Amino acid sequence: MTLQSLLKPRSIAIIGASSNATRVGGIPMDLLLRAGFERLYPVNPKNTEIQGRACFADIESVPEVVDVVLLAIGADDVLAYLERCHARGIKAAIVFAAGYAETNEAEGIARQEALTAFAKRTGMRVAGPNCMGNANFNDNVFTTALLTQSGNMCATVYRMARRAGVAFSHVINTGNEADVDFADYLAFLAEDSATDAALCYIEELRDGAAFLKAAAAFRAAGKLLTVYKVGASEKGAEAARSHTAALAGDSAAYDAAFAATGVARAAELGGLADLAYLHGFGSKIAGSGCAILSVSGAAGAILSDALALNGGTVPTFPESVQAPLRESIPAFGMVSNPVDLTGNLVNSNDFLFEAVRLALSPDDVDVLIVFLPGYFLDRALEQLQRAAALAAKQIVVVDTFALGDRAKLAAAGIAYFDDFDRAARAICTYGAWKMGGAVTLKPTAAKASWPAFPVGEPALSETAAKEALAAFGVPVVHDALVHSEGEAREAALRIGFPLVAKLVSPDVAHKTEHGLIRLSLKTADDVTAAYNAMVAKAQSMPNVRIEGVTLEPMLAGGVEILAGVTRDPVFGWMLTVGLGGVWTELMKDVRHRLLPVDAAGAEEMLCGLKGFRLLDGYRGAPKADAAAAARAIAALCDAVLAGGERLREVEINPLLVLPEGQGAIAVDALVLLNEAAQPEVEKAA
């Protein structure tokens, strides 16, 4: 269902319209009249005329079925009035009233649930409640949309962006999102031909899948989607949750979601405006390789540091660029990039023009940053204008004196910042966004199926977990579950030595400490002795059920990694990959991705680990079979996607990565289950 009538209405009725232009029922009247909106119908039984327009007693008297109705009435009266609007055939409404779920009180929560149910039942699209509403500036020049989950931040970003010279097509504050949610708006904007970029302030998303789809649509259309997300810190997350009363998604899942869909993420709120500002210059920025021309050696050094910190590069110029620069710059000026133009700038009418041309010529330069303090800018402007007119790449002027004429530069297609770090952050984030490829959210065909999940159990046994994953193509260490000394001897001779024996019991947590895991068993007699000793030990412990003993080959060599898939409440399945033990626990050296993940994606994750060199033939060790590990991880992901709602978490730890050509093998696996949704039915089946 499109949001066309909500966001681009041709006719509007305002219930509770007011003559006072500072009140909630008067503000939208005033703004819409100023904007020259014609088919506007104030509704208020107490008036016959409001702000110069004929006023109607009720929605039934309004002479047309309007596209959208604005409800400027108290929460108690909203639902009844919405029913009347629905009866009249109206398809969209905006509810300003507070007093819903944001109160964190039973009455308000129930009121919001009723509103949501109404929207579901009738198909009417309801924006809010507890929102500031939307603005749509009908002007084709402005193509940036602002979409926020906070009224205050809506106003803050709006002001920041206006200062940066960004003008908006749509300004939307989503409020409580009882019906129309963040992703709905985003999906509309992705298809809206008048929108070329969206600036978003996000606290918590309700519908992760819909967000991912809308974000992918932005990317596919080449539209900029830039996001500032709060909640990176514990206190910030707590405050955001309290504010929105939404599901608490994992911060890592948001990171993974934004990475997966190529969202341009602003590290600071002000960065949103800067990214939209850069985007407004068109598509001349292809990456974040920067050339720097500066009249100050210091500024070149500061910009180089700031670019490196933000992931940009300052490639050294080839001699074909350095040589001609050297001819016109004194020996003390650097020409390798950054270029220290020295004061020479003012002595020639073509020096800067020529320097710009040279600096932009290397293939690894995507953007040129020119540091010109305000007092130089006037003298340099004409040369810059000429150079920009010929350049296929973006020129950005940085002037820490804040004296530049932003409009004059913009007219020449030149961007302008008055701060080193803001410029570097914006250029690097924008360049990285541009380098991102198309997003494919491809579904995977199930290659196998899970066996029936046991009802009432919180987990599969290790043996069952490994066998289930093996069906999807995960290489596993097969173990034998034995129940007698004789079975143990027989299985041991079949598996070969050395091997490991483990007592199986759901009731013992630290098996090693209790002597219930025995390593390096080298003969059948070792195995039977271990079997008997472990069973005797377990029998001597109170309340320990013995399910048997597993035997498995003891593997030597290789590098241990772990791969786990957990379910995020907002975005669904997320894969975590890391090296085993201390690497993950102490160094937090892990990578996350949302599913689906294929083998190529899994290998990228492994390569992204700081400790990847441990897999790559570190200190003369054999190179590990990372490709095989990646295939095993991809198979794990396929298995999880095929597993459905009963799966809670699946982990392989360790996945032993053997030397190249020898594969990777899951030594242990964990499959945690959710409570069955309908245990009675399952039991009956």
Residues 290-329 that bind its own copies (CB under 8 A): 295-302, 304-309, 314
Cβ 292 vs Cβ 369: under 8 Å: yes
Binding mask 618-657 for its own copies (x = CB under 8 A): x---------------------------------------
Range in contact with its own copies (rule: CB under 8 A) among 63-71, 154-162, 481-489, 556-564: 154-162
Which residues within the stretch 183-212 sit at the binding site for its own copies (CB under 8 A)? Answer: 201, 203
- 586 binds its own copies per the rule CB under 8 A: yes
Opening angle at CA 122, ends 116 and 123, nearest 5 = 80
Which of 33, 259, 481, 587 is close enough to bind its own copies by CB under 8 A?
Answer: 587
Q: Is the dihedral of CA 482, 488, 492, 497 positive or negative?
A: positive
Choose among 439, 427, 444: nearest CA to 258: 439
Token pair in block for residue 199: 């600036």
Q: Residues binding its own copies: what is the number (CB under 8 A)?
A: 72
Beta strand 68-71 with 125-127 is unpaired
DSSP 593: E
- 153 binds its own copies per the rule CB under 8 A: yes
Range in contact with its own copies (rule: CB under 8 A) among 22-30, 75-83, 98-106, 121-129: 98-106
Which residues within the stretch 337-356 sit at the binding site for its own copies (CB under 8 A)? Answer: 337-338, 340
Binding mask 224-253 for its own copies (x = CB under 8 A): ------xxxxxxxxxxx-xxx---------
Range in contact with its own copies (rule: CB under 8 A) among 289-297, 464-472, 499-507, 555-563: 289-297
Cβ 394 vs Cβ 276: under 8 Å: no
Alpha-carbon distance of 240 to 176, in angstroms, equals 13
Range in contact with its own copies (rule: CB under 8 A) among 155-163, 355-363, 466-474, 570-578: 155-163
Please state the closest distance from residue 315 (CB atom) to its own copies, in A. 9
Which residues within the stretch 253-272 sit at the binding site for its own copies (CB under 8 A)? Answer: 268-270
315 vs 324, beta carbon nearer its own copies: 315
Token pair in block for residue 323: 């040589």
- 30 binds its own copies per the rule CB under 8 A: no
228 vs 573, beta carbon nearer its own copies: 228
Alpha-carbon distance of 518 to 499, in angstroms, equals 9
Token pair in block for residue 78: 């909203």
Which residues within the stretch 526-585 sit at the binding site for its own copies (CB under 8 A)? Answer: 582
Q: Is the dihedral of CA 340, 345, 347, 348 positive or negative?
A: positive
Range in contact with its own copies (rule: CB under 8 A) among 526-534, 606-614, 625-633, 651-659: 606-614
Which of 122, 156, 444, 662 is close enough to bind its own copies by CB under 8 A?
Answer: 156
Cβ 292 vs Cβ 321: under 8 Å: no
Choose among 170, 175, 72, 74: nearest CA to 130: 175
Which residues within the stretch 361-400 sit at the binding site for its own copies (CB under 8 A)? Answer: 373, 400
Q: Read out DSSP for 215-262?
A: HHHHHHTT-EEEEEE--SSHHHHHHHHHHH------HHHHHHHHHHTT
23 vs 610, beta carbon nearer its own copies: 610
